[in-house]
Structure 1
Amino acid sequence: MTAAANPLDLTGRVVLVTGGGKGIGKAITERFLSAGADVVVCSRSEPEELPSAGGRTAVYHPADVRDPDTAFATVAFIEEKFGRLDVLVNNAGGAPFTDAATVSPRFSKAIIELNLLGPLYFAQAAHRLMTAQEGGGSIVNISSVSGVRPSPGTAAYGAAKAGMNSLTKTLAVEWAPKIRMNTVIVGLVRTEQAHLHYGDDEGIAAVGATIPLGRMAEPDDVADACLFLASPMSGYVSGAEILVHGGGEMPAYLRAANSESDHAPVN
């Protein structure tokens, strides 16, 4: 009896990762490279060093994900170079902390374009190529817990991610059976810029202690979920939301109750 083919071997497959040159996107790119795929990354500026893994290096193409023309140009580049596109990971996104009462309309518009409209543009561009090829394709949208719970300080971002979650489910219905659409809802992640948000290693550890699994996610945790959703192992998974958040965040009332119990008299 011959050994079964490795379902996580994506040799011969072509993957596009938006914002794939740094942070979570870099880890996703490296995971697909390790799996044997050809990977294209796109962003407004080229990374100082392109992601490499498994003896393979990503290909860079310039693109502003908020611009629909560059979305279609990126997919056209991939079609010309590789002849197909099997996986799209809409990873590019984010937002700085802002006050919802005073933030400018221009800023809010840019955040919505980056985190909601950009993924839609790239999905539309990928749709044309994926539906025309044998085997269809898989699209993975990188969302955030900010889209499924209150997001103070990043209101427009949270609203955009909530929109992305809805968009994924809708397109999973509209574009089936040729294209599978899924969402990875990401919690707190320890990236190279985590210290800007959470302070030093002690602060990062303190934040991690509030998560049921006892730590913040590593970028590789997100990358693993993306590889699963892009692989034949998830061939019957579409319209799903995969929570990569370590069990979520401890409810505030439990923290308050535990704090009070620490000072309660013991009988």
Structure 2
Amino acid sequence: MNRFDFSGKTVLVTGGTRGIGQRIAERFLAAGAQVFVCARTQPDTLPESSGTSATFVAADLRNIEEIDGLLDTICRVTGRLDVLVSNAGGSPFVRAATASPRLTESIVHLNLIAPLHIAQRVNAIMQRQACGGVMVFVASVSACRPSPGTTAYGAAKAGLVNAVASLAIEWAPRVRLCAVSPSLVLTDAAKDGHYGNASALSAICATIPARRLATPDDVASACLFLASDDAAYSSGTNLRLDGGGEIPAFLAASGMHEAFVEKS
């Protein structure tokens, strides 16, 4: 039984064709929403739940004309947009000292500029609707802790979290905005070695109080909650999904962390 009901609602999940975005789209479909997903290229399969599939619209969110085309298509089909989940983003591992200017600009554009552009356009739609709307932005714990190897990404996500707080004031009361900041997530890429081999993955989990990585379902659950009426008084907030954070390095270095970790 679904805890949330989005029947009659139209939801857009950017980057919703794989990974975390795919699971978010599937969960909104299961909750009764009409779901649109976008990416630059159409995948072989689309998010689906109980025989209902998401609708795909090709769009490169770094191109403002394609954002406008995406939203025009949604409004032409449904006449409304109730929820935006701005999930598209990411970054390769690259040392800041050797990153090219073009790569740095591309990372910032994808993770900060593009979400701001689509938010501006979606706000114009939602402000015209009697029921307004909700925007949920998938950020990262990299926004509020050091992010070596993904410096531009962390800086962009920090900007995104700040923007959510600011826009929640500018666009209230008709439009709510929230951010979700997961730590490392066990996607298919992670299972295939994105964070290293099985031994490395186990060592990473040992640094997390919850003793595991987040799952796409963890992130999806947070998005559904924040987009629901149960979170009607939540706006400008940033929900951290980090399993309790990280065991402090000085405890791990001294071996004292064992006193704070329950043996399995």
Q: Could you state the TM-score of these two structures normalised by the residue count of structure 1?
A: 0.93
Q: What SS is found at the alignment partner of 1:49?
A: coil
Single out whichever of 198-207 and 84-93 deviates more from structure 2.
Answer: 198-207
Q: Do 1:36 and 1:54's aligned partners in 2 also have CA atoms closer than 8 Å?
A: no
Q: CA deviation at 1:208?
A: 1.4
CA separation of 1:7 and 1:127: change in aligned 2, threshold 3 A: farther
Determine if the alignment matches structure 1 residue 239 to structure 2 residue 236.
yes
Which residue does 1:257 correspond to in 2? 254
Which residue does 1:81 correspond to in 2? 77
Which residue does 1:265 correspond to in 2? none
Alignment counterpart, residue 106 of structure 1, candidates 102, 106, 116: 102
Q: CA deviation at 1:199?
A: 2.5
CA separation of 1:130 and 1:250: change in aligned 2, threshold 3 A: same
Determine if the alignment matches structure 1 residue 37 to structure 2 residue 33.
yes
Which residue does 2:222 correspond to in 1? 225
Which residue does 2:67 correspond to in 1? 71
CA distance in structure 2 between the partners assigned to 1:36 and 1:113 by the alignment: 32
Gapped runs of 5+ residues in structure 1?
1-5, 263-267
Q: What SS is found at the alignment partner of 1:227?
A: helix
Q: CA deviation at 1:205?
A: 2.5
**Deviations for 1:39-63, whole angstroms, at most 9, x for unmatched residues?**
0000101111001013310000011
Q: CA deviation at 1:221?
A: 0.3
Q: Do 1:7 and 1:232's aligned partners in 2 also have CA atoms closer than 8 Å?
A: no
Alignment counterpart, residue 197 of structure 2, candidates 195, 200, 222: 200
Tell me the amino acid that sits aligned with residue 13 of structure 1.
Answer: K
CA distance in structure 2 between the partners assigned to 1:227 and 1:37 by the alignment: 11
Q: CA deviation at 1:7?
A: 6.8
Single out whichever of 48-57 and 162-171 deviates more from structure 2.
Answer: 48-57
Q: Do 2:247 and 2:257's aligned partners in 1 also have CA atoms closer than 8 Å?
A: no
**Deviations for 1:21-43, whole angstroms, at most 9, x for unmatched residues?**
00000010001000000000001
CA separation of 1:233 and 1:261: change in aligned 2, threshold 3 A: closer
User: Structure 1 vs Structure 2: percent identity of aligned residues?
Assistant: 49
- Structure of greater Rg: 1
Q: CA deviation at 1:200?
A: 3.1
The correspondence of residues 125-140 of structure 1 with structure 2, limited to 5 A, is 125-140=121-136
Gapped runs of 5+ residues in structure 2?
260-264
- RMSD value over aligned CA atoms? 1.6
CA distance in structure 1 between the partners assigned to 2:20 and 2:92 by the alignment: 17
CA distance in structure 1 between the partners assigned to 2:124 and 2:63 by the alignment: 17
Q: CA deviation at 1:252?
A: 0.8
Which residue does 2:162 correspond to in 1? 166
Determine if the alignment matches structure 1 residue 210 to structure 2 residue 207.
yes
**Deviations for 1:199-232, whole angstroms, at most 9, x for unmatched residues?**
2334323211211111001100000000001110
Q: What SS is found at the alignment partner of 1:193?
A: helix
Q: CA deviation at 1:189?
A: 0.4
Q: Could you state the TM-score of these two structures normalised by the residue count of structure 2?
A: 0.94
Which residue does 1:49 correspond to in 2? 45
CA separation of 1:261 and 1:181: change in aligned 2, threshold 3 A: closer
Q: Size of the alignment, in residue pairs?
A: 257
